[in-house]
Amino acid sequence: MRAIHLNGHMVCLNEVTAEYFPHIIAWRNDPVNNQYLNQPFHLNMEKQRAWYEHYMADDTQGLLVVVDKEDNTPFATMGWTAYDAERHRCITGRLLVGDRRYRGSTHFAEATLLFADYVYDTLGVDICYAHIVRENAASLRYHEKYGFHQNEGEMQFPEERIVNGMEQVEYLRRREDWRVVKPMVQDRLRP
């Protein structure tokens, strides 16, 4: 069994387990959170368990739950799909700040730092792709703030262009792009 655990000063990122299912279900069913998710159905425990069974047998994806260490409060998820070790790439996603009090917080910035370092340094990814609903201005700003930019070349994952009737834009961030923005993230986290 996999057991990813990333430990920061304010947050830790833990690979998803059943203990987090109630949080994930509530977050993903919240109409505000769900507006741009590729989940056109009501999530319940049965569907979450079925997804988890598939997840545990698939080494091309990961899902981490972000937890505030001060009071052990789970507040977000982030992860990847389509991990290709030979091509050194993946799609980052599953990005959801379920507890809206943490949106734009230093806690979430630290989680982003830990996550990006893990993807580039541990998984050995050279390029991350992200697919963002064109109208999701908050997510577009977040990705650009953390070094992503719109893919101006050939779309690498054309099946992600339209998901559940929503047009998505393909963004990418190379390892070098992360190296440029990482010091700014670190500065933000300094006391």
Element (H, E) at 67: strand 62-68
Q: Kindly state the average pLDDT of the residues 78-91.
A: 98
CA distance 138 to 100: 13
What pTM value is reported for the model? Answer: 0.95
DSSP conformation class of 122: I
The SS3 assignment for 43 reads coil
4 pLDDT higher than 60? yes
CA distance 45 to 21: 7
Q: Kindly state the average pLDDT of the residues 104-123.
A: 97
Q: pLDDT of 92-108, one tens digit each?
A: 999 999 999 999 999 99
Q: pLDDT of 126-174, one tens digit each?
A: 999 999 999 999 999 999 999 999 999 999 999 999 998 999 999 999 9
Report the percent of the chain where pLDDT is more than 90: 91
Q: pLDDT of 27-63, one tens digit each?
A: 999 998 888 887 888 999 999 999 999 999 999 999 9
2 pLDDT higher than 90? no
CA distance 124 to 144: 22
Mean pLDDT over each residue of the chain, to the nearest integer: 96
